[in-house]
Amino acid sequence: MVDVEFYRDLCRPLGDVTSKRMFGGLCLWHQGLAFALVIDETLYLKVDEQNRIAFEQRGLPRFSYTTKTGRTTVMSYARAPEEVYDDPEVFAGWAKGAIAAARRVAAEKPAKPARRGATAKGAG
């Protein structure tokens, strides 16, 4: 079972971090953006084209899972280096990179279209 308090303490220097149980583990959010997953006691940080090389150079694997149909899905999260647990400044550096990746990914997503049947407030 994930030690939620441990990860909240680890994230405290980042400011506004919340957590939510997801995928049988924990998802960490900073200002509404998911930047980390904790699955089976392993911390995975958000990656994109700009920060993925730092993870690849260290041989840190991506988080993946296999569906019931046998399909493997690789997500945009990679295992955090072990030293993030030993040094709060090292953790903050890697976490800030993951938060920046989450921001970039969110900025690239197209705006969601208005829901069908939704009307403007006060319209009637």
Residue range 49-87, pLDDT digits in tens: 999 999 999 999 999 999 899 999 999 999 999 999 999
Residue 112 has a pLDDT of 65
Instruction: Give percent of the chain above pLDDT 90.
Output: 64
Does residue 35 contact residue 29 with C-beta atoms inside 8 Å? Answer: yes
C-alpha 23/C-alpha 27 separation (Å) is 8
- The strand pairing partners of 64, in sequence order, are 74
Q: What is the pLDDT, as a whole number, of residue 116?
A: 66
Mean per-residue pLDDT for 2-23? 87
**Coil, strand or helix at 44:** strand
Q: 3.40.50.150, 3.40.50.10860, 3.30.1460.30, 3.40.50.300: which CATH number matches 4-108?
A: 3.30.1460.30
Q: With 60 as the cut, is the pLDDT of residue 118 above it? A: no
Cα separation, 99 vs 32, in Å, equals 10
Q: How far apart are CA 39 and CA 1, in angstroms?
A: 9
Whether residue 124 is predicted with pLDDT greater than 70 in this model: the reply is no
**Predicted TM-score of the model (pTM):** 0.83
Residue spans per domain, the chain: 4-108
